[in-house]
Chain A
């Protein structure tokens, strides 16, 4: 496995007229990594990808691939290959011609191309399908042909623009594993764009969470999930319950927050915000549904929450309880199903308990839209 070629974005700004699509992005992507940009649609992640692939010149800042500045170098000269959202397979070429298009451009003979295509078709588990047209393949097969076509160009960096979004759920989950395996096998840098946190978390070495042109946090999946840097990252990645309030007291790495409707609650301050949260600041506290558990009703304390139950549902592996929450949002509690008996508490008050370490406080900020 080769070390791979790294990609750096330095103070990258991209503007379209007055609209700022990407604001001062600084990202270091290690060679051979599977790196994801995760964000809702319209957050500028595709714009970054187009800047890396060369279809777009940044307004300010630089794109470096393997340490070389890519300014003024067109997409056909960059060591990148892009897998388009709609795959963009050439509809009139057979599968093998599609896969070896880059070789045709380079002037390779038909025999060499055929041979290489057969190798790649074996790799993507479509042996002997080279003479079909793309329209004669299924969605997942087309997907793999697009990957083979990009790999045939032997790029240093493979860019993927939400390539799985057109597939159905089952196939998407299957392709996640497959993509990750291919990446490990070829050992080149993958840059992956997605709005699906599941895809980002399962496949990536590192993830950049983007919001409206700004990169909120860059870290591995576990860190982003457990230790979000911003309210947006906390609410966008996975399900989360939010408590709004003001910092009442800072105790080292912990903060006591006077919440709007659940009293004073204690939580851990997220790593990125240590030392930055002061008494009196607006703050948000996040607790995952699975981190809450039931406690004797009416228990008071700085890690107990009491609220009225709106409704409950049974989801198989968990019982979900929805309670009156903060700011019109419901508070969700997920109780693992161990086969215990479970009674309906709708309309009653219930008290929940959490471990302080599982609650995380960040400065108040924009939440992800649901």
Chain B
């Protein structure tokens, strides 16, 4: 294997660098400067914004900046260069924390509960896990006045806000719980608190046991006691706090909302006026069945026990609300559950997929049931679970409807499939049901009930959210088609940084936004790993250091990306990297190198990666005047193939590591800034399956050909030498579609030869439907046409190639089929009946048919042997063949006609043959019987019979017969 490729890549790289030597020098200077004054403008901004200027980096800060351009530059380096996020970030930095969150709120005002409330609410909720109190609810809305007492805001999908009335539930409820707790002896505190306490106790115990010097350990214990993982602590608990892309968030929420009509029996999606008016009517008129689902999904703890009771009582009697529900259901049956019943969220880890699913589901009033990778995933158990969640209505009326979240559905391949299968089964059953239901007449209440019953058996009644990392995992393929897919993209760095800063402030950790930005970039905006790192550093009493980031981040996530991402990385040059290049050329190149390397080797599926490169590389637009790059690339591809083959053969799988540099050198050669159009490598797979198919055809053909011929041919020689001339031979131009007796002697001989060839090579014509793809080069436009039976024609039917083969007229084909069929049967029968005396057999046949052939023509020479019967057939079969042609029955018909006819002859023949033996013994008794049956019967009755049985002698009945009886 020659190693020119990496060299070439290196050269390329050197070339690239050589073009800006002075820039590089500048960069180095610049770098030095930067090292001396790390707190760049954002740091200083922080200083202005916050009362106490804290040095965030390990190096001393220098507020005065000698170069005016520097800050912008360095800033750019750490922030994505779109101006929006920049300004966003600035804003966020300048304003204080509460304001910041308000800004965020404003972004999402369409879903806002009550903007000013939000920040206050946040604290108690997060820190103490207290339930929120509503202090200022009444002030807010236009329609709130119509409701006396407290109310809760509910925002529709279109941003319209309505207010549902609530009573002062919270205190009552708490009290009630407590009362209940005291009276029934159940726990008074939430389980969570208890669990925490237990954990804390255990932890302190463990600490006490392990640590010798308690005095030192005391401080950490204090910290530990109150501290939980920041990731959990600051996990978004409401929809507005989500960090992930808003577009996705909204879509997910929208999807969940579509379920409302199905799950809660309330139409949410309709026009605002409609909803508002109906709601108003509802809330005014029907005051007490307050479990109107509106409120129940808006705020979780509302439904009071008395209300529940009322509901339970009302339920069987078809209460008002139920009636309304039914009415709405009927009205909006079409707008029931969404078209795609499954939501598939995918994206790299740490972007908040799970969080989004949980928060969104909670927001919409569901109770989340999560099935995780760690749970039992066998098909049976998961089916039971899903059925539980999806189809059962909660008996315990207090609880909310459930929403199923299947996390890491792509995780385990063989077991994970269980879940996918079950879901697919549910979905398909649902489809069928719906199809059936459309045929059903629209029934009233009763109809609805019955359909509901059936729903219980099969359908999905609750939303299912699946979460995966790799959308293109093979197990998910079927699911992808039925599910609604949302792909998570990284949140913008600024968002993540804002969040991190907020948390850092809360935790009183000193950081700078540069460091945080660097951290966020380093972890690919994986906020989980950011937080873990920060917490870890905080524990160690270290500060985040930009320069030692890579050593400080504890767990670099081992992310496997999808194949598409990798191809994109390989074939596309990163823009950001270029700006970095001006900074520090060498390190950025090596960085680039490293990231690509880790990316490819994490994925590992080199075969697929190179297939993809091969598929897409020629579609790229790179400058290549004499195609040198292309040559290099294809050489590299070839190299990787040889490499792959070698490692597979020798099973030195560890050598696979060296595949990724090959891919990287391709990156160096052809990567462009423009976004490549990447396709999944299909053509190689297609080729593989097609060629296997064709090989199969060849094999079966070869097996059909009698061994005396096929033994001389390999499949290779079939395609290489045989097929083209064979097709010519099979379609002679001289063959005319006329009746057999009109042919000259020579033509008949030719025909016989042709039929003989067809039989010996086991080919025939067959009726095929005129499928445009199968019409091949024949070009004929018959509705049903005859094609060669092993489809040999396909083998020369290349795309964009016109072969000059003559096509026989279909009448000729029919005729040929017929003849071949006859020939085959003839051969078969002669082989079957009397293999050793084949010649004699033919002889007999010919005699019987009173053919014109002389008996002497029988000889061992095969040519004559074969020609004779066919010719003889020509004489006796014109009628049937013409008949056949008229009926246009094709193979089957002609087979049927031919078969019995041929079959008959040997049969008749054998009978006469047998008769020869039978005659002497049979004749006399037969004559006797026929002539004198009646007489004998009479006589036999009159005389005494004498039976004498002699073993082994004869089975005839003996009795005395007089001579005169014979003479009569």
A binds B: no
Partner-B contacts on A (CB < 8 A)? none
